[in-house]
């Protein structure tokens, strides 16, 4: 098989994990969409929620631990 494009970044990780030399897991994450920028910023910068927030997904979605 001849590659005409660079290997996607995830492919080598998957191949190494499949070979058993790396540990890969899947987490349960909820995507919380906040279409109001004020609400998004309030939640994203809140001192109350940092334990639950796992990151952002673009400018209108938060990744929340279940």
Return all residues near 54 (Cβ < 8 A) that are at least 6 apart: 27, 29, 63, 64, 65
Confidence of residue 11 (pLDDT cuts 50, 70, 90): confident
Instruction: Quote the pTM value.
Output: 0.55
Domain ranges of the chain: 26-65
d(CA 21, CA 63) in angstroms, rounded, equals 28
Greatest alpha-carbon pair distance for the chain in Å reads 52
Sheet containing strand 29-33, strands side by side:
29-33, 61-65, 53-56
pLDDT 10s digits, 14-49? 777 777 666 667 778 899 999 999 999 999 898 888
Average pLDDT over residues 48-58: 87
């Amino acid at each position: 098989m001849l590659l005409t494009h660079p290997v996607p970044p995830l492919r080598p990780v998957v191949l190494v994990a499949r070979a058993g030399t790396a540990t890969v897991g899947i987490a349960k994450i909820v995507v919380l969409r906040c279409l109001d920028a004020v609400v998004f910023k309030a939640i994203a910068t809140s001192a109350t929620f940092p334990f639950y927030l796992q990151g952002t997904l673009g400018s209108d979605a938060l990744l929340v631990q279940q």
